[in-house]
Amino acid sequence: MSNLVEGATGPWEVVVGLEIHAQVTAQSKLFSGAATEFGAEPNSQVSLVDAGMPGMLPVINERAVEQAVRSGLGLNAKINTYSVFDRKNYFYADLPQGYQISQYLQPIVGEGIVSVDLEDGGSTDIGIERLHLEQDAGKLIHDQHPRKSHVDLNRSGLALMEIVSKPDIRSAAEAGAYVRKVRAILRYLGTCDGNMEQGSMRADVNVSVRRPGEDLGTRAEVKNVNSIRFMQQAIHFETTRQIDILEAGGSIVQETRKFDAQTGTTRPMRDKEEANDYRYFPDPDLLPLEFSDDFVEKIRLTLPELPDAKKRRYMDDLGLSDHDAAVLVSDRDIALFYEAVADGRDAKIAANWVQGELFAQLARAEREVADSPITAAQLGGLIDLIGDNTISGKIAKDVLEIMFETGRDAAVIVADKGLKQVTDTGAIEAEVDTVIAANPDKVAEFQGGKDKILGWFVGQIMQATKGKANPQLVNQLLRDKLKP
């Protein structure tokens, strides 16, 4: 599949690099003991350190270090056992210290690789440039006063991992797949909850265009985009904007831009319009961050099976198709749900039910697997009822719908509604005889070689038994009785 974009003067290639800011899952902040929970009262989760009070000093949270190493391992990246915290100096109302403690020249994690599945079934590798630890800023609220902005420092000092990709992404679709994959990996690792609405994952999107085969063009950076859809809109908008400028003979200004979700467009950021000079230097309040290889190896031993390995296993050991496996490993919650359903059951049937019927119900209800009203055990129970011929697959679909609405067990619903399928040969035989006797013309057609008429007979009998007759049995009996 070609990613080239056709302009008025010929094809263009889009080049995208992403800086994902992922909030580290931890109880307390990167350099203070204040809590990290979302949605608290303003300035209630703020320590003196987070408020930049005079004389306050940072002390690093060991959990943040572990989580960064864990994430680095999950991204197949080099772990740097010696790294340095720097100050990035700039003024803004949400930045109490007047600098952000970040890592500049020597980050905790170096180069890595993420393999991304594409919509056409192929896959591509996106390079990771680095992952570093840094502090989040506070939040500005603009809608409470006509002439003032309000500052809430609850987010100030939260631990973030900034994951910087190489400029390896060539389309909005690839960018979306990449973010989904990184998000999945972090969620598997338990290092970031990936909740984009609550701001625990955001991306800065660097977009440039060039003629195929040429050097990188000048890029624009769209800041703080907080959904995959917005990110893709921003890439589309930037692509068109930049191509239009270049084709009209203009040139691209390197600048930071803000995405407007209302219009799907980007515009230069007012306060950052000037070229920033961050005056990075090593934070003299902190010593270099050092740990042993042993520390890294201990963390490596606790890594869960990650999506790529899981997908390979689903295909190789469980015999799932590439598509089914990809869908089921795309999120940790889905994989765990699926594995609970498949436990002790036919893996393919379990896969069909999870990503077929259950997903359809979830999509209709706009719910995630994590809050599915049907538990994995309950779905397993339903599949078991099919397996032991208590109900047919068709009936099972109806049962699943009722389970989804009521949360009741399949067996209870089947018993309650009398949906147990008829497997009594005598009862079915009687229905078969009745239908054959009433339709001698159809019998003659069948016997004359029109095999397809068999389906009509099956339908008649299923109708008569309200779908409860065991379909295999009906087929068997019909074939026997219709033989000339």
Interacting residues with Mg ion (CB under 5 A): 19, 204
Give the nearest distance from C-beta 56 to another protein in angstroms.
7
455 makes contact, choosing from another protein, Mg ion, Zn ion, none, with CB < 5 to 8 Å by partner type, with: none
Cα distance between residue 83 and residue 103, in whole Å? 8
Pairwise CA distance, residues 230 & 5, whole Å: 20
Tokens found for residue 108: 């905790």
The neighbouring-strand residues paired with 12 are 5
At closest approach, how far in Å is the CB of 380 from Zn ion?
A: 44
435: partner contacted, choices Mg ion, another protein, Zn ion, none (Cβ within 5-8 A by kind)? none
Strands 220-225 and 281-282: unpaired
Q: Which does residue 26 bind out of Mg ion, another protein, Zn ion, none, counting CB within 5 to 8 angstroms by kind?
A: another protein
Q: Among residues 162 and 255, whose Cβ is nearest to Zn ion?
A: 162
| Residue whose CB is less far from Zn ion, 152 or 204 | 204
DSSP string covering 247-303, please?
Answer: HTT--PPPEEEEEETTTTEEEE-STT-SPP----EE-TTSPPEE--HHHHHHHHHTP
Backbone angles phi, psi at 208, to 5 degrees: -145, 165
Residue 371 binds which of another protein, Mg ion, Zn ion, none (CB < 5-8 A, kind-dependent): none
Number of residues located near Zn ion, criterion CB under 5 A: 1
Q: How far is the CB of 225 from another protein (least distance, A)?
A: 13
138 or 307: whose CB is closer to Zn ion?
138
The answer to whether 306 touches 112, Cβ cutoff 8 Å, is no
Per-residue tokens: 364: 């209709």
Among 98, 193, 104, CA closest to 137: 98
Q: Which is nearer to Zn ion, 162 or 445 (CB)?
A: 162
CB under 5 to 8 A by kind: which of another protein, Mg ion, Zn ion, none does 355 bind?
none
> In terms of Cα–Cα distance, which of 198, 167, 153 is closest to 22?
198
Give the residue with the Cβ less far from Zn ion, 103 or 355.
103
Q: Among residues 32 and 421, whose Cβ is nearest to another protein?
A: 32
Which option in Mg ion, Zn ion, another protein, none does residue 232 bind, with CB closer than 5 to 8 A by kind?
Answer: none
- Scanning 161-169, 329-337, 407-415, 451-459 for contacts with Zn ion by CB under 5 A, the matching segment is 161-169
Token couple for 154: 């609850």
CB nearer Zn ion, residue 100 or residue 355? 100
Least Å from the CB of residue 204 to Mg ion: 4
We find the least distance from the C-beta atom of residue 138 to Zn ion, in angstroms, to be 15
Contacts to another protein by CB under 8 A: 26-28, 32-35, 41-49, 51-65, 84, 87, 89, 91, 93, 96-99, 140-142, 144-153, 258, 269-271, 277, 279-282, 284-290
427, burial (CB in 10 Å: exposed 0-12, middle 13-18, buried 19+): middle
In the bound state with another protein, the residue whose beta carbon lies nearer, of 281 and 444, is 281
CB 185 within 8 Å of CB 74: yes
Decide whether 93 or 370 has the Cβ nearer to Zn ion. Answer: 93
d(CA 463, CA 461): 5
d(CA 22, CA 144): 28
Helix (H, G, I), strand (E, B) or coil at 441: helix
Q: How far is the CB of 19 from Mg ion (least distance, A)?
A: 4
Residue 204 touches which of another protein, Mg ion, Zn ion, none (CB < 5 to 8 A by kind)? Mg ion
Smallest separation (angstroms) from Zn ion to the CB of 160: 6
C-alpha Rg value of the chain to the nearest Å: 30
User: Residue from 162, 193, 260, 398 that binds Zn ion (CB under 5 A)?
Assistant: 162
Distance, C-alpha 180 to centroid of its chain: 4
- Kindly state the smallest distance separating residue 400's Cβ from another protein, in Å: 42
Name the amino acid, one letter, at 264: G
DSSP characters over 64-89 = HHHHHHHHHHHTT--B-SEE--EEEE
Residues contacting residue 145 through CB under 8 Å, at least 6 positions apart: none
Distance of closest approach, residue 38 Cβ to another protein, in angstroms? 14
DSSP 181-200: HHHHHHHHHTS----TTTTS
**DSSP reduced 3-state for 283:** coil
Looking at the chain, how many residues does it have? Answer: 484
Closer residue to Zn ion (CB): 61 or 470: 61
- Minimal distance, residue 129 CB to another protein, in Å: 21
Tell me whether residue 278 or residue 295 sits nearer to Mg ion (CB atom): 278
Residue 371 CB-density burial (10 A; 0-12 exposed, 13-18 middle, 19+ buried): exposed
Minimal distance, residue 255 CB to another protein, in Å: 14
The Cα 135–Cα 160 span in angstroms is 6
Considering CB distances under 5 to 8 angstroms, the limit depending on partner class, which of Mg ion, Zn ion, another protein, none binds residue 273?
Answer: none
Q: Cβ closer to another protein: 44 or 198?
A: 44
Site for Zn ion in 14-43 (CB under 5 A): none
The single-letter DSSP state of residue 312 is: H
Q: Which does 60 bind (CB under 5 to 8 A by kind): another protein, Zn ion, Mg ion, none?
A: another protein
Kindly indicate which of the ranges 156-164, 283-291, 318-326, 383-391 contains the residues binding Zn ion, using the contact rule CB under 5 A: 156-164
Residue 290's φ and ψ, nearest 5 degrees, are: -130, 145
Interface residues toward Zn ion, by CB under 5 A: 162
